[in-house]
Amino acid sequence: MASNSKSTKFSAKTTRPAQTLPLSLVVLLCSFFAGGCASSSGIPKKPWDSAAELKTLAPYLTADVMATYNSAGSIAAKTVYRDTVVYARLRAIDVTYSTFVTALAKERNIEAVATDTSVLILTGTASLIHPASTKSILAAISGGVVGVKGSIDKNLFYDKTMPVLLTQMEALRKQRLATILTGLSVPADRYSLTQALIDLEDYFQSGTVPYALMAVNAESGAASQKATKEIKELRTFSFNYGAAEDEDVSTKIRTWLLNGGTAWDPARRQELEGWLKEKNVTDAGITSFLNGPFKTQRSAFVTEKKIP
Amino acid sequence: MTKVVTISNVPAKNKAQVEQDFRNEGAKHVNSTMEPDGEFTIIAIFENAQLADPKPDPKPGPKPSKN
């Protein structure tokens, strides 16, 4: 009986630390995940509040900027407003990009340290504790942590892939920024806010992992395409029929293009494209010609080609 | 070669026609967004577009003589 009683007491004493140890480990891990080792990311804390800065930019991040731009009146006023919106959005994108990169660095360092440490502590602790049930609990926790780490294989991703992608993102962002800044050097009638918003979207996308992955894939598989010059053209027009009779002129040209079919007749399409080039009307294509500010030229085409 | 063409201020009644024109022309993607005033901006993306002589800006051609 005495022996049993002693055994019971011993058992009670040894199970208590087994119940409290995991809690202390949880606290230790939580301190890692809560940023207790911020310096391990290699990125110092920013001296200003990014969220507060984004709030000050909010008026230029709304969907109604186009309406304000369109109502600005003169080209000069539109140019000033365009520049304000674009610079505000550039800054907003930079702030979110910086936050994203910082989070990546923290995630990589904290997660690697915390996971590896927890594996060592948990497996090490299990070997020091006698009751089999406690050992199996700790071993199970340890196995779970290792399992998660192994299944995602994040170390490989962060060590090998992420630096390449970040370099790619930086290069793409610089290219897009150059495009935007070049655009801002001319008045709004030559680089409209619409065009700038398209380029800003590109600038934002350049700082994303999927976009960088696509770029890396494209580059790695396209060494032979170096000689192929990619030309990206942006053309922006305002819809312009003017009067109802002008809409009729466009309709006449469409009917002529269809030539009784459901798709544009290739020969007539070629004829129209040749005419547009010969007359130096536009290189933006037939749709722009049919719907853009080319009222006089549309009438001239109908007259010249004797389109009924 | 990629060409992006945007036509803004398209009235709702003309939206479908402009989209169809872009498709007839061979656009790979055609997207429309409604402007605050109810009109539409239609964006078309052409892949492998053939641009004869890229010019810095679209210019209206010479006006035909009315005389």
What digits encode the pLDDT tens for the residues A38-89?
Answer: 445 566 677 777 788 888 888 888 888 998 998 988 999 999 999 999 999 9
Mean pLDDT of A191-217: 83
Helices (H), chain A: 2-31, 50-57, 65-70, 75-128, 132-152, 154-156, 162-184, 193-206, 209-220, 244-258, 266-278, 286-291, 295-304
Residue B1 is nearest to which of A70, A231, A280, comparing CB atoms? Answer: A231
Please state, in angstroms and rounded to a whole number, the distance separating the CA atoms of residues A276 and A294. 11
CB pairs under 8 A between A and B: 130
Least confident interval from A156-165, A270-279, B40-49: A156-165
pLDDT band with cut points at 50, 70 and 90 for residue A209:
confident
Q: Is the Cβ of B19 closer than 8 Å to some Cβ of chain A?
A: no
Task: Name the residue in chain A with its Cα closest to that of B37.
Answer: A67
A265 contact residues in B (CB cutoff 8 A): none
ipTM: 0.72
- Is a pLDDT exceeding 80 seen at residue A111? no
Q: Name the pTM for this structure.
A: 0.40
Which pLDDT value is given to residue A69? 92
CB B11 within 8 A of CB A280: no
Per-residue confidence band for A151, with pLDDT thresholds at 50, 70 and 90: very low
| Mean pLDDT on A237-250 | 72
Q: What percentage of chain A exceeds 70 in pLDDT?
A: 57
Most confident of A46-55, A122-131, A135-144, B17-26: B17-26
- pLDDT for residue A144: 42
Please tell me the predicted confidence (pLDDT) of residue A211. 76
* Position with higher pLDDT, B14 vs A41: B14
Confidence of residue A143 (pLDDT cuts 50, 70, 90): very low
Give the residue among A280, A283, A281 at the shortest CA–CA distance from A294.
A281
Would you call A195 and B55 a contact, using CB atoms and an 8 Å cutoff?
A: no
Q: Is the pLDDT of residue A119 over 60?
A: no
* Helix, coil or strand: residue A3: helix
In one letter, which amino acid is A98?
A: S
Query: How many CB atoms sit inside 10 A of residue A181's CB?
Result: 13
pLDDT greater at residue B58 or residue A189: A189
The pLDDT of residue A242 is 60
Using the predicted structure, report yes or no on whether residue B61 has a pLDDT greater than 70: no
Please list every residue in chain B whose beta carbon sits closer than 8 Å to the beta carbon of residue A176: none
Matching residue, tokens 């897009």: A176
pLDDT of residue A253: 94
Mean pLDDT across chain A: 69
pLDDT for residue B10: 87
Q: Which of A16-25, A274-283, A294-303, B49-58 has the lowest mean pLDDT?
A: A16-25
Interchain CB distance below 8 Å, A287 and B64: no
Phi, psi (deg, nearest 5) at residue B40: -120, 150
> Residues of A with CB below 8 A from B62's CB?
279-280
CA distance A117 to chain B (A): 50
pLDDT higher than threshold 50 for residue A140 = no
The amino acid that residue A7 corresponds to is S
With a cut of 80, say whether residue A262 has pLDDT above it.
Answer: yes
Residue A244's identity, in one-letter code, is A
